[in-house]
Structure 1
Amino acid sequence: MKFSEHLVYKECKRHPLNLALMTASTSALLIALPAQAADDEEIIKLDTMSVTAEQANEAVTRQEPQYSDAIFTDTKSRSSSGLAISVKETPQSVSVFSRRRMEDQNLSTLNDVLSQTAGISVKEYDSARQYYYSRGFEVNTIMIDGVPTLFDPGWGTGENSANTTMYEQVEVIKGATGLMTGSGNPSAAVNLVRKRAASKELKGTAELGLGNRNEINATIDVASGLNDSGSVRGRAAIHREQQDSFRDVGDSTQNIIYATTEADLSEDTLLTLGGSIQENINNAPTWGGIPGWYDDGTRTNYDRSKTTAADWAYWNTTHKNVFAELRHTLNNNWDINARYNYGTTDGESRLLYVFGNPNRDTGEGISAYAGGNFGTDSEYSMIDVFASGSYQLFDRTQEASFGLSRSERHFTAYSAFADSVAPIGDFNDWDGKNYPEHVWGDRFLYEEQTDTQTALYGSTRISLTDKFSTIVGARITNQEVDRKEAAYNAAQIIEHDNIFTPYLGLLYAFNDTYTGYASYTEIFFPQNELDTNGSSLEPISGDSFELGVKAGFANDQLIATAAIFKTVQDNLAAIDGTNTVNGSVDQAYKEAEGATSEGYELELVGALTEDLEVQIGWTKYEVKDADGEKVNTEQPRSIFKSYASYQLPASLSKVTISGGINWESESYASATNPVSGNPEKVQQDAFALVSLMAKYQFSPEFSTRLNIENATDETYYTNIGTFGQIAYGSPRTVSLSAKYDF
């Protein structure tokens, strides 16, 4: 596998952490690989491969062992209602990705996980920024161990690039989750569950991988007791990965360090401390897409490798986080929990944005925008204190949870315009190389704001009979946005006090297999999108309903879900054609009144047999405004996602094969033809992406894995029509990895 020595030298010189991570990771793997002398007739079951101990996490607990750890169906989570309930008991659609599922499919970032999640549509602003939709609405709620964070994909601060090395599993709760997040967004919420230091014995994993486009990645993950009794335990993971872009120029690198420790202060008290650093390095990223039209009004048809970036461009972010958790058992029935998170995100970028419409023959007509120099600083803190337990009512044991949370995020962005910009010239021959960097002027304040949220919440599950139960909850939230005067906006303080968000869930167990459910919540979500005048859109308000049935087979190791949903909301942010915010190149938005989303979801998740696992989901919906006009048409209305993993029988049991198909229906956006001035549809036809995996287990400790993404090398768009531009998705990628568990 060819790997550029010059690139290694350049990256290690700019980022010394790269060299340290690569050296440590590679050395550990080589040391850990002894001669393998396993009996060829030994039968190896996949559920022996897990190197993580039982999670001592109040947010997520496991019950009886299941067929395999690849797909969790017995997970208990608090992320939807604040109560520790299983997937089957949750009156909403839930998808869970385990550690092994993420490893098997090589899902190294949150973006990778969401691209495989049923009902989620993944699109791009450009090569460094992705955004997500569920049920017709944007996903902008990310939780870590059940604590919500503030996520703004438009600024590319890197939350969507969160590396899964730090996480044991990822949960995606479809529908509104205002009870726990305060936002009430009816799309979905993502909960990242951190790895825990639960092992008293030395355990670990070393992994090394290579791939086309000069991909290389290495990981070490080690857990152990830190004293003789094991009452103090630690865990640490380091990870590095890098690969070239499929475009003419560009490459990306991630460096991650994660460490956590747990201490049993007493039989009733557990203290958890930890922290992480993640560095995202993006060289020559695109900013926006490639032109969609020639200057004669006909559509362009560039190769997927075409770029609008320059080789001097970069978009780098560094995330630092520390956290602390304290859990104390008051008695046999009640626990009290306190959680604290503090983090910073720093970003620096020098970008090239091009606009215009080239001549088909000469390539002339493309100009460079004078902006693209940005610096961002984000600082956030979150504290959450809650109690959970049981009580007696109606001669039955009932469950309850209530708590108080506060979060604050301060975000600042600076920018600069260029005093001198070189001409682009013939765009047909453009490859991003040898174009001089802009001569930048002084920086100015682009944006500064502080978001604060304080909330009191509570929920209870009341079992009225053996078959019928209800989940009742409410949240009272105070929110404030303090926006300072900056280049494109006046000073503004927006306050929303005593926002009441009710939640009602009903469950009826028809028998041991089938459970019907219904849920309702209200929606209130302040928006950061701006209109053409630079003013914030009004908060989204509305109602969300879901009705469904869940069936659990084989002791709930296979879960089938069928659900219908309806969401009605006002002031939904919708793209305002090709209009921008005055004085900038930022997309402008408008409010869609009476936006209604209606649809249904079907999902089958779990183990069909001890050796065969599946995750299959189908989602279909429609979103229209009060006038019956379709909203957010750039998102597909039908989504099918599937994954299956099979361990071959008998003498071939060391081989596991898996594959998936992700299909999206057609989608389109309206953009203005530069010649005629008339609106036109920029359409993405229906397409399917195929992924394949084959793994060979040489011994219980050592395995190799081959992954192929976009196996059919499908050509498709990840951005259609934004600013009259388009962006292509990744072509086929192939990677090979070796893993050793000890």
Structure 2
Amino acid sequence: MPHLHPTPTTLSQAVRLVLFGMSLASAPGLLLMPAQAMAQSQTAYHVAAGPLGNAITQFGVQAGVTISFDTEQTRNLNSAGLEGSYSIEEALVRLLNNSGLQAQRQGNGGYVLVPSDNGSVMELGPLNIDANRLDATSEGTESYTARAVTIGKGVHTLKETPQSVTVMTRKMLDDQNLNTLEQVLDKTPGITVYDSPMGGKYFYSRGFNLDGQYQYDGVPLDVGGNYVQANSFSSDMAFYDRVEILKGAAGMMKGSGSSAGGVNFVRKRGQEKAATTVTLSAGSWDNYRGQVDVGGPLNESGTVRGRAVAALQDRQYFYDIAKRQDQILYGAIDWDVSPDTTLGFGLAYEDVDATPCYHGLPRYADGSDLKLSRSTCLGASWNDLQSQRITGFADLKHRFNDDWTLNFASVYTHNNQNIEYGYSEGSVPVGATSASIGRYAGRFDYDQDDYGFDSYVDGKFEAFGLQHELIIGANASRQKTHDYFALMGLSGSQNPFAPSADFPHPSKDDYLVLPLRGGSIPTDSTTTQYGTYANLRLKLAEPLTLVLGTRVSWYRNKSDAYTQRYEYWVNNRSQENGQVTPFAAVLYDLNDQWTAYASYADIFQPQSDKVNAERQSLQPKTGANYEVGIKGELLNGALNTSFNLFRTVEKHRAESDYNEACPSGDGYCYTDSGKVRAQGFEAEISGSPLERLQLLAGYTYTQTKYLNTIEDTDPTELTFTSSFIPRHMLKVWGDYQLGGALERFTVGAGLNSQSENFRTTGTTRVEQAGYTVWNGRVQYRVDPNWTVALNGNNLFDKKYYATIGAPAWGNFYGEPRNFMVTLQGAF
């Protein structure tokens, strides 16, 4: 019989960012004083949903009380978990809700679990719970799996979604210190992160580029999609509840959808109970971060709820020169205008001040490794990046009745980046131990505005004795970019074996004398797209569901680019009208836990921003995505599993044409590569397979090849750009709470493993052998409010290239062994 005897202790704080964290906590705390006053006798709890015995154990540790029970009493029982501030009695009633058990208070101050009909019962007032409504919020569930997802319109469980979806929950983000988009996707099964030499990140799924396929609270935008050198899209995770990642064709989301999938950022909302979290971290290479997150009701009735998040990160890197400081502010208000109508507003500000090191490392001319130190940077000491992003949110949800709802959401973002940097480029003669390669400089001033809205009606209706679902909606987005950029050569040379950061620093006028690319005239682009969509889920029989969807899209693009060196203009004007993107799926419930499915999705993606040597825009990419699989929802939703086979066929795929001199706006010509195919399978498990254990594990096998090409070239001689996508990938992370005398400890471990990958430039091949990187974590709960954790990455200090490029540039080392200590308080 388990007995919990935690003893609260006093926490001594000695972290560099304590003063920052405490000062941030004070201001938003004043905002919530009325709600906090009502909860003076309450304590904040964070108990994961899952097996009841595990939930009771977690609660006992956090509350500092002894709870006695027999494991047979809780076998096969689950709890919805607990998040927020409660008295001990109220918390126990909520944890034991619908379990047939109650907690009896003992003379020693502890509790014992007994059947509900034995003795007096602690009763709880009416709970505001609607079993017919799924809540996709991951915050507070303390789980690595999602109760539901929203990326495909409406709210459905993972088992009900006939495509591959991974959800990176709030607990997963916190446990692994995943603070940026690239860190999140690097830990997402099936996703490859690729470093651009110009500082951005490319993300690949199933062999294809995600191409900026992002949603914010379900609103599709092209943020980061129009990559014009300086547009290195990133976003801090401080103000997001979760990240939903769809793998496979995403055309139903926005019409012009990527073959790779899409990413949905779902922001944090005001909580029903007052809560404050302070997080302070310090790690390798002077990596410091402080964050305060506070929220709760702003009036006595709780109809107005607020949220405020502030974060500051100051860090250096494992390579020379580079450093970065991030400032993040976020505020949100949700207002229940009536019992059936809720308005939501949010505003986020992100500021980056950095000294970057771009362009990566070179190789020998035959593609072999120079074996340079991982601290090597071949850039200039005066490198500078200034970036600001403002994002505004507004949404409305109205419930007509228990079956029908209206949803409206809108988003606006403005992103400004000013970058100046020096870099080195050139392959090294084979066998040399000293070399001279070229030095260059780049300057970019980039502005981007994105507007978007999405609105739909979602409802259930009865027909033929069964319940069906219909979604009808429309959305639209507009992106405007304004980009000055220029590249130029610098005098002197760089020795990669003994690098110097002392570069000549050109003036702004120097870039305009004879730029290698770009010039004095900006590149301007405006892209507008809008469409209507419908999705019908028909219950053909009790175990059989047919999903039919379609979208009709309109697309407009206008761009003007000038290359000063060649006095070369590219003026693109393109449009697509009434493009139909169908979707179809069949789901069959094998039993209450397992569902088999098959799905088909069309691919349509304009690529008018890319031109061939004749200055003609390429035709849109088209194709189809096929997927069959099986999904399981086990242990009352505490565990989700999936296995699928996929095949994607894509035609008219743009590839860089290195054989043509093309002084276009971005410096590259493109060609229509014909027809390519990616296929493979994925297996994933997320949630709690065992009491006290949270797990996310996924294996992906991807095979890519050309089927044919429009050119008179043997397809086997062409390189599918995604050759740098490994054929085999395995990503695992687990977190386990110890029992008995060690129950205050939680230990975590995981790995990122992949097979070899390569990239070919001309006839030269650059390779990276397969590798495995191990990570770990230990957390100790000091008392009900405070935890301290130590995270370690690349524990065995594996030396490898996270990104491989060409012999002359673009090769980036993965991070060496590093550690982060995190102190967190929840109140």
Question: Which of 12, 19, 23 is matched with 1:27 structurally?
Answer: 23
2:507 counterpart letter in structure 1: V
Alignment partner, residue 657 of structure 1: 747
Residue aligned with 1:319, SS: strand
Instruction: For 2:413 and 2:595, locate their aligned partners in 1 and report how far apart those are by CA, in whole Å.
Output: 41
Question: Which of 473, 488, 498 is matched with 1:429 structurally?
Answer: 498
Alignment partner, residue 458 of structure 1: 534
Question: Which of 581, 594, 602 is matched with 1:501 structurally?
Answer: 581
CA gap 1:167/1:156 in 2 versus in 1, 3 angstroms: farther
CA gap 1:572/1:258 in 2 versus in 1, 3 angstroms: same
Question: Which of 728, 732, 736 is matched with 2:817 structurally?
Answer: 732
Alignment partner, residue 316 of structure 1: 386
Deviation at 1:185, TM superposition (A): 1.7
Deviation at 1:695, TM superposition (A): 0.7
Instruction: For 2:141 and 2:390, locate their aligned partners in 1 and report how far apart those are by CA, in whole Å.
Output: 34
Alignment partner, residue 5 of structure 1: none
Residues 1:290 and 2:375 aligned together: no
Instruction: For 1:322 and 1:304, locate their aligned partners in 2 and report how far apart those are by CA, in whole Å.
Output: 40
Contact 2:639 2:686 in 1 (8 A): yes
Residues 1:349 and 2:419 aligned together: yes
Contact 1:362 1:426 in 2 (8 A): no
**What are the within-5 Å matches in structure 2 for residues 173-572 of structure 1?**
173-199=246-272, 201-286=273-358, 288-293=359-364, 299-358=369-428, 363-369=434-440, 371-416=441-486, 421-432=490-501, 434-441=502-509, 442=512, 444-487=520-563, 489-527=569-607, 528-529=609-610, 531=612, 536-572=617-653
Gaps of 5+ in 2: 1-16, 30-43, 45-60, 69-77, 87-126, 513-518, 709-714
**What are the within-5 Å matches in structure 2 for residues 715-726 of structure 1?**
715-722=799-806, 724-725=808-809, 726=811
Instruction: For 2:757 and 2:357, locate their aligned partners in 1 and report how far apart those are by CA, in whole Å.
Output: 25
1:25 counterpart letter in structure 2: G
CA gap 1:685/1:586 in 2 versus in 1, 3 angstroms: farther
Instruction: For 1:606 and 1:332, locate their aligned partners in 2 and report how far apart those are by CA, in whole Å.
Output: 29
Instruction: For 2:767 and 2:266, locate their aligned partners in 1 and report how far apart those are by CA, in whole Å.
Output: 37
Instruction: For 1:258 and 1:599, locate their aligned partners in 2 and report how far apart those are by CA, in whole Å.
Output: 40
Deviation at 1:365, TM superposition (A): 2.6
- TM-score of the two chains, using structure 1 as the length reference: 0.88
1:661 counterpart letter in structure 2: L
CA gap 1:492/1:547 in 2 versus in 1, 3 angstroms: same
Cα distance per residue 1:255-283 (max 9 Å; x no partner)? 10010001111112111011100112221
Instruction: For 1:396 and 1:48, locate their aligned partners in 2 and report how far apart those are by CA, in whole Å.
Output: 32
Contact 2:318 2:816 in 1 (8 A): yes
Cα distance per residue 1:459-501 (max 9 Å; x no partner)? 0111111100011111000011111243354222110111100
Instruction: For 1:372 and 1:437, locate their aligned partners in 2 and report how far apart those are by CA, in whole Å.
Output: 11
Instruction: For 2:504 and 2:736, locate their aligned partners in 1 and report how far apart those are by CA, in whole Å.
Output: 53
Question: Which of 584, 592, 606 is matched with 2:687 structurally?
Answer: 606
CA gap 1:222/1:30 in 2 versus in 1, 3 angstroms: closer
2:263 counterpart letter in structure 1: V
Instruction: For 2:217 and 2:201, locate their aligned partners in 1 and report how far apart those are by CA, in whole Å.
Output: 23
Cα distance per residue 1:331-387 (max 9 Å; x no partner)? 332211221211100010001132223467674431222x41110010111122211
Instruction: For 2:788 and 2:183, locate their aligned partners in 1 and report how far apart those are by CA, in whole Å.
Output: 21
Alignment partner, residue 692 of structure 1: 776
CA gap 1:533/1:108 in 2 versus in 1, 3 angstroms: farther
Contact 1:29 1:208 in 2 (8 A): no
2:529 counterpart letter in structure 1: Q
Cα distance per residue 1:31-75 (max 9 Å; x no partner)? 99xxx9989886899997855999999xx9428999952312422
Residues 1:161 and 2:234 aligned together: yes
CA gap 1:585/1:29 in 2 versus in 1, 3 angstroms: same
Instruction: For 1:178 and 1:585, locate their aligned partners in 2 and report how far apart those are by CA, in whole Å.
Output: 26
Residue aligned with 2:591, SS: coil
Instruction: For 2:424 and 2:697, locate their aligned partners in 1 and report how far apart those are by CA, in whole Å.
Output: 41
1:305 counterpart letter in structure 2: S
Deviation at 1:174, TM superposition (A): 1.0
2:787 counterpart letter in structure 1: S
Alignment partner, residue 154 of structure 2: 83
Contact 2:215 2:263 in 1 (8 A): yes
Contact 1:83 1:460 in 2 (8 A): no
1:129 counterpart letter in structure 2: G
Contact 1:284 1:310 in 2 (8 A): no
Alignment partner, residue 9 of structure 1: none
Contact 2:364 2:807 in 1 (8 A): no
Contact 1:666 1:686 in 2 (8 A): yes
Residue aligned with 2:492, SS: coil
Cα distance per residue 1:498-535 (max 9 Å; x no partner)? 11000101100011122100110110011244556665
Alignment partner, residue 12 of structure 1: none
Cα distance per residue 1:285-317 (max 9 Å; x no partner)? 21x2222126x9865221111112111112222
Instruction: For 1:416 and 1:348, locate their aligned partners in 2 and report how far apart those are by CA, in whole Å.
Output: 12
Count of residue pairs brought into register by the alignment: 703
Contact 1:92 1:519 in 2 (8 A): yes
Deviation at 1:579, TM superposition (A): 7.4
Residues 1:138 and 2:209 aligned together: yes
Alignment partner, residue 707 of structure 1: 791
Alignment partner, residue 675 of structure 2: 594
Residue aligned with 2:570, SS: coil
1:473 counterpart letter in structure 2: G
Contact 1:157 1:345 in 2 (8 A): no
Worse-matched range after superposition: 546-555 or 487-496: 487-496
Deviation at 1:556, TM superposition (A): 2.9
1:332 counterpart letter in structure 2: D
Alignment partner, residue 641 of structure 1: 731
Alignment partner, residue 7 of structure 2: none
CA gap 1:559/1:708 in 2 versus in 1, 3 angstroms: same
CA gap 1:580/1:148 in 2 versus in 1, 3 angstroms: farther
Instruction: For 2:129 and 2:657, locate their aligned partners in 1 and report how far apart those are by CA, in whole Å.
Output: 48
Contact 2:209 2:260 in 1 (8 A): yes
1:321 counterpart letter in structure 2: T
Instruction: For 1:547 and 1:218, locate their aligned partners in 2 and report how far apart those are by CA, in whole Å.
Output: 44
Residue aligned with 1:625, SS: strand
Contact 2:603 2:624 in 1 (8 A): yes
Instruction: For 1:645 and 1:425, locate their aligned partners in 2 and report how far apart those are by CA, in whole Å.
Output: 46
CA gap 1:447/1:540 in 2 versus in 1, 3 angstroms: same
CA gap 1:722/1:231 in 2 versus in 1, 3 angstroms: same
Deviation at 1:588, TM superposition (A): 5.1
Cα distance per residue 1:676-699 (max 9 Å; x no partner)? xxx121001101111111111112
Cα distance per residue 1:652-696 (max 9 Å; x no partner)? 111111111111111111124xxxxxx121001101111111111
Deviation at 1:417, TM superposition (A): 5.2
Deviation at 1:446, TM superposition (A): 4.0
Instruction: For 1:207 and 1:691, locate their aligned partners in 2 and report how far apart those are by CA, in whole Å.
Output: 21
Instruction: For 1:718 and 1:64, locate their aligned partners in 2 and report how far apart those are by CA, in whole Å.
Output: 33
Worse-matched range after superposition: 136-145 or 530-539: 530-539
Question: Which of 102, 125, 147 is matched with 1:74 structurally?
Answer: 147
Instruction: For 1:353 and 1:533, locate their aligned partners in 2 and report how far apart those are by CA, in whole Å.
Output: 31
**What are the within-5 Å matches in structure 2 for residues 16-165 of structure 1?**
24-28=20-24, 50=83, 61-62=134-135, 69-75=142-148, 77-80=149-152, 82-126=153-197, 128-140=199-211, 141-152=213-224, 154-155=227-228, 160-165=233-238
Residue aligned with 1:501, SS: strand
1:168 counterpart letter in structure 2: D
Contact 1:715 1:731 in 2 (8 A): yes
Instruction: For 2:129 and 2:673, locate their aligned partners in 1 and report how far apart those are by CA, in whole Å.
Output: 45
